[in-house]
Chain A
């Protein structure tokens, strides 16, 4: 592949991936409003388009045309930069996430992701760990009590839960022996006794999966761990002073992070794009892995929304005690046991 072809293919993939991600973000918001609406015996959005399907579009137009307020008491450079930081890091992490096998289109053999790197998982963790700056700086630069408290809470919470999140992934890494997301997925192909898939969640990593799940709720500031934006006590937390598109950027960053977390869960625990795909015509066989991947992500996002509609918010001291005194020891225990089993098998 020559350099110009490589650049062309990369640009096309970046545009397509960003388009898919932003559309997914918009429709995750729609899905959430619909599902939470039905949980609460309401309809959710119904007016714009059939089933309210055009609601995200209308919301986007509204956000763009709203007046962009700049409160006089803020520290301007960081106040403007904070939502950009949050959104940029949320969108960048999708670049190393594979959504399917290698494909050959028009004679060009390419992976179904922007770039295939051998430390993919570390890159995702690194980029998402930088996302906390957007939230923390937004809270600080707004120069308001509620924002500052929200920013502080977000900083402490995200740093605390990142440890449990990282440790819960180490068990999977030990079993796969690689940081490459593609190799981790390949290690989960096949079945036990012909019907139970060899996903990591069925290979003894179910505890790790639940640690990951709980840490992921805290990392993405979602109910029941949405203390940084707890409406009942902090107005809206770190984005209290934001409006129009700047607020929308935080909103998009939150949902993009949810999707990244769902992608990681699917790749690491739920077997990625593995699924029954050895039937039907060749074209169907080629598309099915991507379909399975999308189905798993949808299931994970649905669970996210379901939890939001079901659980109340924790207190902050409960959140911290849960993270440090329960999740962290559990994650370490899981790591030690997994390492022991792998060492005994070898």
Chain B
């Protein structure tokens, strides 16, 4: 009962943070709303029993990736954004589309309970279980993903270095 209450409260906080992310006009407020979303998602994982995933969610997403977001916003000194009138296509198709999608997903989940529902505390939680899954059952997907990340890193390095142009003079570190 207490679990369900806390779960619902953080679910609401999560959705409120996501809506606030869209409504805010200043990029830094939006980024901080995203931190709130990440944090409440971590609490939801924790309540479902996935304590390792919850901790990693906080360390990696809230603690590292979002810090880089905030860092970039600070570095570029991005100001308040102009509010446009919004596109007509979004109003005509987007809003009904989202509504229909939500109803469909909810209907499927409710009609076929047991496929989409996760009981409280049912997810694999302890780090040992996660490690076993990653390095035995899902070894190939895990390694393929790591190669994918490596490619992304190399792409970032290529984009960041300007071939042809001279590097600014570097002092010895």
A binds B: yes
Interface string of A31-61 (1 = CB under 8 A from B): 0000000000000000000000000000000
Q: From residue A130, how far is it (CB to closest CB) to chain B in Å?
A: 6
Q: Are B28 and A133 in contact, with the CB atoms below 8 A?
A: no
The answer, yes or no, to whether B70 is at the interface (CB within 8 Å) is yes
| From A126, A151, A318, contact of B63 by CB (8 A) | A126
The answer, yes or no, to whether A132 is at the interface (CB within 8 Å) is yes
Q: Please give me the residue from chain A that is nearest to B62 by CB atom.
A: A130
Q: Are B173 and A155 in contact, with the CB atoms below 8 A?
A: no
Q: Please give me the residue from chain A that is nearest to B77 by CB atom.
A: A148
Q: Known: A132-B67, A317-B171. Is A125-B74 also a contact (CB below 8 A)?
A: no
Q: Are A122 and B71 in contact, with the CB atoms below 8 A?
A: no
| From B35, B63, B68, B74, contact of A139 by CB (8 A) | B74
Bound-state CA distance A123–B127 (Å) is 13
Bound-state CA distance A129–B56 (Å) is 11
Q: From residue B130, how far is it (CB to closest CB) to chain A in Å?
A: 11
Task: Count A/B pairs, Cβ under 8 Å.
Answer: 77
| From A119, A317, A325, contact of B51 by CB (8 A) | A119
Q: Are A162 and B64 in contact, with the CB atoms below 8 A?
A: yes
| From B32, B62, B71, contact of A156 by CB (8 A) | B71
Residues of B contacting A318 in the complex (Cβ-Cβ under 8 angstroms): 173
Q: From residue B72, how far is it (CB to closest CB) to chain A in Å?
A: 10
Q: Are A159 and B59 in contact, with the CB atoms below 8 A?
A: no
Residues of B contacting A127 in the complex (Cβ-Cβ under 8 angstroms): 58
The answer, yes or no, to whether B120 is at the interface (CB within 8 Å) is no
Interface string of A307-345 (1 = CB under 8 A from B): 000000000011011100100000000000000000000
| From A117, A129, A148, A155, contact of B70 by CB (8 A) | A155
Q: Are B70 and A133 in contact, with the CB atoms below 8 A?
A: yes
Q: Are A119 and B68 in contact, with the CB atoms below 8 A?
A: no
Bound-state CA distance A119–B50 (Å) is 11
- Interface size class on chain B is 20 to 34
Residues of A contacting B126 in the complex (Cβ-Cβ under 8 angstroms): 118
Q: From residue A92, how far is it (CB to closest CB) to chain B in Å?
A: 12
Interface size on A, residues (CB 8 A): 33
The answer, yes or no, to whether A212 is at the interface (CB within 8 Å) is no
Interface string of B3-41 (1 = CB under 8 A from A): 000000000000000000000000010001001000000
Q: From residue B155, how far is it (CB to closest CB) to chain A in Å?
A: 19
Q: Are A119 and B64 in contact, with the CB atoms below 8 A?
A: no
Q: Are A136 and B55 in contact, with the CB atoms below 8 A?
A: no
Q: List residues of A (81-140) whose CB comes within 8 Å of B's CBs.
A: 117-119, 122-123, 125-127, 129-130, 132-133, 136-137, 139-140
Q: From residue B3, how far is it (CB to closest CB) to chain A in Å?
A: 14
Bound-state CA distance A156–B74 (Å) is 12
Q: From residue B71, how far is it (CB to closest CB) to chain A in Å?
A: 4
Q: Are B67 and A325 in contact, with the CB atoms below 8 A?
A: no
Q: Are A133 and B71 in contact, with the CB atoms below 8 A?
A: no
Residues of A contacting B67 in the complex (Cβ-Cβ under 8 angstroms): 129, 132-133, 136, 155, 158-159
Q: From residue B59, how far is it (CB to closest CB) to chain A in Å?
A: 5
Given A140-B74, A155-B71, 4 additional A-B pairs, CB 8 A: A125-B55, A127-B58, A156-B71, A159-B64
Q: Which A residues form the contact surface with B (CB < 8 A)?
A: 78, 117-119, 122-123, 125-127, 129-130, 132-133, 136-137, 139-140, 148, 151-152, 155-156, 158-159, 162, 166, 179, 317-318, 320-322, 325
Q: Which B residues form the contact surface with A (CB < 8 A)?
A: 28, 32, 35, 51-52, 55-56, 58-59, 62-64, 67-68, 70-71, 73-75, 77, 126-127, 171, 173
* Interchain Cβ contacts under 8 Å between A and B, 9 examples: A118-B126, A122-B52, A125-B59, A129-B62, A130-B62, A133-B67, A136-B70, A148-B77, A162-B64
Nearest 5 A/B pairs, CB to CB: A321-B173, A129-B63, A122-B55, A126-B58, A155-B71
